[in-house]
Structure 1
Amino acid sequence: MSESASGGSAQDRDADEDLATSLAGLAGLTSLGSTLESVLTQIATFAVQAIPGAEGAGLTLLEEGRSDTIVKTASFVVQVDDIQYSLGEGPCIDAAAQRQTMRSGSLGGDPRWPRFGPRVGRLGVHSVLSLPLITPAGVVGAMNVYAHGKDSFDEQSERIGEVFAAPAAVSVQNAQILAQTQRLAGHLQAALTNRAVIDQAIGILRSRGGLTSDEAFDRLRHISQHENRKLSAVAASLVEEAVNRTRLPARLKTPPPPS
Structure 2
Amino acid sequence: MADYDAQPGREEPVEPSTAQREADDLDLLAGLRGVAELVADARTVPELLGDVAHFAAIAIPNVDGASTALLHAPFEVRAVTATADFVEVIDRVQYDELREGPCLTSMMSGRVAVSGSLGCDSRWPHFGGRVARMDVHSALSLPLIVGGEVIGAINTYAKARDAFGEHAVALGLQFAGSAAVSVYHAQLLSSARARTEQLQRALGNRAVIDQAIGIIRSRSGASAEQAFERLAQTSQRDNVKLVTLAERMVDEAVRRARARHRS
Report the TM range for the smaller structure's normalisation: 0.7 to 0.9
Unpaired segments of 5 or more residues in structure 1?
Answer: 1-7, 254-259
Structure 1 residues 94 and 67, CA gap change in structure 2 (3 angstroms): closer
How far is the alpha carbon of 1:69 from its aligned partner?
6.2
The 2-side partners of 1:239 and 1:67 are apart by 45
How far is the alpha carbon of 1:134 from its aligned partner?
1.0
Could you tell me which amino acid in structure 2 is paired with residue 186 of structure 1?
E
The 1-side partners of 2:137 and 2:259 are apart by 71
The 2-side partners of 1:69 and 1:178 are apart by 20
Contact 1:61–1:142 under 8 Å retained in 2: yes
Residue pairs, 1:71-110, within 5 angstroms: 71-86=81-96, 87-110=98-121
Q: Which residue of 2 aligns with 1:172?
A: 183
Contact 1:31–1:175 under 8 Å retained in 2: no
TM-score, length of structure 2 as denominator length: 0.86
Contact 1:127–1:147 under 8 Å retained in 2: yes
Q: Does 1:37 align with 2:46?
A: yes
Q: Which residue of 1 aligns with 2:60?
A: 51
Q: Which residue of 2 aligns with 1:248?
A: 259
Q: State which drifts further: 39-48 or 21-30.
A: 21-30
The 1-side partners of 2:260 and 2:155 are apart by 66
Could you tell me which amino acid in structure 2 is paired with residue 142 of structure 1?
A
Q: Which residue of 1 aligns with 2:30?
A: 21
Contact 1:31–1:178 under 8 Å retained in 2: no
Q: Equivalent residue of 2:240, what SS? A: coil
Contact 2:66–2:82 under 8 Å retained in 1: yes
Contact 1:37–1:69 under 8 Å retained in 2: no
Report Cα offsets for 1:26-68 as digits up to 9, x if no partner.
Answer: 2222254421111111111111100011122111122448984
Q: Which residue of 1 aligns with 2:3?
A: none
Report Cα offsets for 1:85-116 as digits up to 9, x if no partner.
Answer: 11322211111110100011222221111222
The 2-side partners of 1:167 and 1:33 are apart by 17
The 2-side partners of 1:192 and 1:26 are apart by 37
Higher relative contact order (CA closer than 8 Å, sequence separation 6+): 2
Aligned residues: 245
Could you tell me which amino acid in structure 2 is paired with residue 41 of structure 1?
G
Could you tell me which amino acid in structure 1 is paired with residue 38 of structure 2?
L
The 2-side partners of 1:151 and 1:238 are apart by 69
Contact 2:144–2:179 under 8 Å retained in 1: yes
Structure 1 residues 67 and 99, CA gap change in structure 2 (3 angstroms): closer
Q: Equivalent residue of 2:80, what SS? A: strand
The 2-side partners of 1:241 and 1:27 are apart by 53
TM-score, length of structure 1 as denominator length: 0.87
Structure 1 residues 231 and 108, CA gap change in structure 2 (3 angstroms): farther
> Sequence identity of aligned pairs in percent?
45
RMSD after superposition: 2.0
How far is the alpha carbon of 1:10 from its aligned partner?
2.2
Q: Does 1:145 align with 2:156?
A: yes
Unpaired segments of 5 or more residues in structure 2?
Answer: 1-16
Q: State which drifts further: 50-59 or 29-38.
A: 29-38
Q: Equivalent residue of 2:164, what SS? A: coil
Residue pairs, 1:116-155, within 5 angstroms: 116-136=127-147, 138-155=149-166
Structure 1 residues 246 and 82, CA gap change in structure 2 (3 angstroms): same
